[in-house]
Structure 1
Amino acid sequence: MNAQMWHGHAIRRAAVLIGCTALVLGLTGTAAEARSRDLGREVLGGADGWGSEGSGTTGGSAADAAHVYTVTTWAEVKAALRDGGSAPKIIKVKGVIDAVSEGCDAFAVEGYDFQQYLKDYDPAVWGHDNPVSGEQEDLRAASAANQDKEIKASVPANTTIVGVGKASGIRGGSLQIKAVDNVIVRNLTLEAPIDCFPQWDPTDDNKTGAWNSEYDGVVVYGSTHVWVDHNALTDGRYPDSSLPSYFGKVFQQHDGLLDIVRGANHVTVSWNDFEDHDKTMLIGNSDSAGSTDSGKLKVTLHHNLFRGIVERAPRVRFGQVDSYNNHFVVTGDQSYAYTFGVGKESQLYATDNAFSLPSGVSAAKTLKKWNESPLTAANNYVNGKLTDLIAVHNAEIPGETLQSGAGWTPTLRTKVDPPQAIPGIVDHCAGAGHLR
């Protein structure tokens, strides 16, 4: 075992022996205190990313007894979210809740026939010049509207949603944190919703066509002071590799895992496990949204694990995004496009991260330039070696020359761990089940 391998092994062993709770909480408190924690009453600590700015993020920690709910079904989740308006509330998710327990057929309207849809809009029949229209498209849209109504759950202000124990979560639901303040989502395994009724767009992808889907696992839309912590977000039972193809294109049924858009601000995303997904995280959803997004979309990402992710980890527009102490793992058998997407007027500050790349995948691919927006990318390690990501990118992809210097320096950071130690720490301590 060489020195680098031994060092990684020692860090991993130490993480297991010490315990993730101790690592995350800075080795404070006794074991009995850790066991007696009430996750619903916990708040985001001071100086812990953009979510701690100003009034900070306390979620539903001040809830009275009447507004603490334990839920075991999707109907109960939605009812608890509605109850009491924006009064502080704590929703404890117990067990695995399936938002699509009756299957996709339950949403289909009478007359919708997917096989007929394929016949009607086959490019050999319909072509690639016009969007689809007609009876089957109308019936598809109506079926999609039924699913939309059922699987989306609106999260009000001053709410904490937390998983009970090590294996609680939600399958197929979409948490909509929209135009509210002060929300916490923790300790949940969230399986990305599948779109039962993707739309065929023959004009997409340079008129070769594409299947377009809706629904993100979690959406932060125009909201402020949000903390997303210690969750596992994944495609779960429905990886893209399991999806069929029609008209020569993958029948894509997934959208994002966590999107932060439309003027959302002051968000901390910490200690989450994002796995096996394509378009993972979008921060700012449109180049034309400057009037809404400029000066906002301030997001911190730290101590997250991104494994088997194709792209958008994240893709950034407009925002001051601080990404540190994350571990990005590209597996040998996956598709891979990029990690950080540098978009319009973004000010990405990405330092002290670790990348694990397989043979044949260059560090140059970790960055993708969409627009002319300088970024800071320092003290990042690739396969245990200090690597200047911008320099490698510019040397190998000269048509996408990136400029260095995000123009700001983060101040709201917790302890910054050495990036060489991040694989051992994050791989064992990120995700649901490590808070108890």
Structure 2
Amino acid sequence: MSGRIPRFAATALPLVLAGTVLGVTPNASAAPVQTFAITDLVGWATQNGGTTGGGSAGTTTVTSASALTSALGSSSAAVIRVSGTINCSGMLRVRSNKTIIGNAGAAIVGCGFNINGDRNVIIRNLSFRNWNDDAINVQESATNIWVDHNSFSNGNDGAVDIKRGSDFITVSWNRVFNHDKSMLLGHSDSNASQDTGHLRVTYHHNWFDASTQRHPRVRFGNPVHVYNNYYYNNSGYGVASTEGAGVLVEANSFENVEDPFHLGEGSSDEGSLVARNNLLVNSGSGQTGGSVRAIPYAYTADAPANVKSIVTANAGAGRISV
């Protein structure tokens, strides 16, 4: 499956978005039809049976923190539409078999989503701002997660943190800006027993827009695939491979990034990192070493010279038809 610009055509899983509405007046307009092609998913989230989220389950539109909390925490499969700005705090638990997708302009302000041991979750087209913990936290062996076309800014800790044995995850077409710690993969040097053999994640076509560090910072996962991302003015570093991780950094575009990728970070020992066909514009040369396991899925990388224009035109919330 190509890693090129997603085409959201009526080819698979059409979702007619006019289901249950929570927190909306009875006369509110029904949400429009979203044609959602699951075939646009690329990377690790296609493995282990694939990732379909709520699939063809009924749709719920939410406009309040209480309605969102209830919908996310349901044990039933669901497609959850977020409308408007939802102000909240803490971490909201997301249970298995959910598609969470924002209507145009939808924002989650002040809180984040916690996927704790659950599986098969899709999060798309949301702007996360001012979260007080993580914006999206994936932990405790959660599997088959797709985080796609979201925007992250001005948060307290990680934008997308993945840890504690979680696996089979794709993070694609997101934008991180006005933020420090972007994407942590593996939370602790002492967690090898749970993390080794897991933490397999694909990061592609993300826009790290003057965010500082952790794009991603990786422990233990092998292979982790970082391709076709656009790095711009990152004052800390781009990618770090530590604690025996294996990271393939491929066909990315780095612009004004003094430290695009390196081995080890802080007190963490070195991992392995293979860099292939990256574009380095006014950037350092990076540090590589060791070998990385083979990538098991099909993909087509865009030419690194085209990554900047492709990613800046398409990454982040509000760039897909809803």
Shorter-chain TM-score: which interval? 0.7 to 0.9
Query: Is the CA contact 1:313–1:339 (under 8 Å) kept in the aligned structure 2?
Result: yes
4+ residue stretches of structure 1 with deviation over 4 A? none
Aligned residue in 1 for 2:277: 379
Distance 1:174 1:296 in 2: 23
Deviation at 1:98, TM superposition (A): 1.0
Query: What amino acid sits opposite 2:307 in the alignment?
Result: I
Residue number among 119, 131, 137 corresponding to 1:193 in the alignment:
131
Distance 1:29 1:80 in 2: 26
Distance 1:25 1:414 in 2: 15
Deviation at 1:365, TM superposition (A): 5.2
1:54 partnered with 2:48: yes
Deviation at 1:413, TM superposition (A): 4.3
Aligned residue in 1 for 2:145: 226
Aligned residue in 1 for 2:291: 405
Query: Is the CA contact 1:43–1:59 (under 8 Å) kept in the aligned structure 2?
Result: no
Query: What amino acid sits opposite 2:109 in the alignment?
Result: R
Runs (5+) with no aligned partner, structure 2: 15-31
Distance 1:365 1:303 in 2: 16
Aligned residue in 2 for 1:244: none
Secondary structure of the corresponding residue to residue 80 of structure 1:
helix
Query: What amino acid sits opposite 1:356 in the alignment?
Result: E
Query: What amino acid sits opposite 1:162 in the alignment?
Result: I
Aligned residue in 2 for 1:197: none
Deviation at 1:152, TM superposition (A): 1.6
Deviation at 1:356, TM superposition (A): 0.9
1:418 partnered with 2:303: yes
Query: Is the CA contact 1:378–1:388 (under 8 Å) kept in the aligned structure 2?
Result: no
Distance 1:255 1:44 in 2: 32
Distance 1:305 1:76 in 2: 31
Query: Is the CA contact 1:44–1:52 (under 8 Å) kept in the aligned structure 2?
Result: no
Aligned residue in 2 for 1:182: 120
Secondary structure of the corresponding residue to residue 168 of structure 2:
strand
Aligned residue in 2 for 1:267: 169
The CA RMSD measured in Å over matched residues stands at 2.4
Secondary structure of the corresponding residue to residue 190 of structure 2:
coil
Aligned residue in 1 for 2:252: 353
Correspondence 1:213-252 to 2 at 5 A: 215-221=133-139, 222-235=141-154
Distance 2:195 2:178 in 1: 29
1:169 partnered with 2:107: yes
1:322 partnered with 2:225: yes
Distance 1:353 1:82 in 2: 37
Distance 1:23 1:50 in 2: 18
Query: What amino acid sits opposite 2:306 in the alignment?
Result: A
Query: Is the CA contact 1:224–1:266 (under 8 Å) kept in the aligned structure 2?
Result: yes
Deviation at 1:341, TM superposition (A): 1.4
Q: Deviation per CA, 1:83-119, whole angstroms, max 9, x where unpaired?
A: 3x1x21111000111115xxxxxxxxxxxxxxxxxxx
Distance 2:61 2:149 in 1: 19
Aligned residue in 2 for 1:80: 71
Distance 1:366 1:312 in 2: 10
* Structure richer in helix, relative to its length: 1
Query: Is the CA contact 1:339–1:368 (under 8 Å) kept in the aligned structure 2?
Result: no
Aligned residue in 2 for 1:119: none
1:25 partnered with 2:7: yes
Query: What amino acid sits opposite 2:171 in the alignment?
Result: V
1:92 partnered with 2:52: no
Query: Is the CA contact 1:220–1:261 (under 8 Å) kept in the aligned structure 2?
Result: yes
1:340 partnered with 2:239: yes
Residue number among 70, 87, 94 corresponding to 1:155 in the alignment:
94
Deviation at 1:62, TM superposition (A): 2.7
Q: Deviation per CA, 1:336-361, whole angstroms, max 9, x where unpaired?
A: 2211112101110111000110xxx5
Deviation at 1:313, TM superposition (A): 0.6
Query: What amino acid sits opposite 1:403 in the alignment?
Result: G
Query: What amino acid sits opposite 2:311 in the alignment?
Result: V
Query: What amino acid sits opposite 1:99 in the alignment?
Result: C
Aligned residue in 1 for 2:24: none
Query: Is the CA contact 2:95–2:115 (under 8 Å) kept in the aligned structure 1?
Result: yes
Deviation at 1:170, TM superposition (A): 0.5
Deviation at 1:409, TM superposition (A): 2.4
Distance 1:377 1:365 in 2: 10
Residues 300 and 23 of structure 1: CA distance in aligned 2, closer, same or farther (over 3 Å)? closer
Correspondence 1:130-145 to 2 at 5 A: none
Distance 2:73 2:200 in 1: 28
Residues 330 and 368 of structure 1: CA distance in aligned 2, closer, same or farther (over 3 Å)? farther
Aligned residue in 2 for 1:38: 34
Deviation at 1:45, TM superposition (A): 4.3
Residues 224 and 44 of structure 1: CA distance in aligned 2, closer, same or farther (over 3 Å)? farther
Query: Is the CA contact 1:379–1:388 (under 8 Å) kept in the aligned structure 2?
Result: no
* Structure richer in strand, relative to its length: 2
Q: Deviation per CA, 1:251-275, whole angstroms, max 9, x where unpaired?
A: xxx1111100000000001111111
Q: Deviation per CA, 1:151-196, whole angstroms, max 9, x where unpaired?
A: 221000000110012x1120011100110110000000111413xx
Distance 1:169 1:413 in 2: 33
Distance 2:184 2:39 in 1: 23
Query: Is the CA contact 1:380–1:388 (under 8 Å) kept in the aligned structure 2?
Result: no
Query: What amino acid sits opposite 1:322 in the alignment?
Result: H
Runs (5+) with no aligned partner, structure 1: 1-21, 101-150, 195-214, 239-253, 391-401
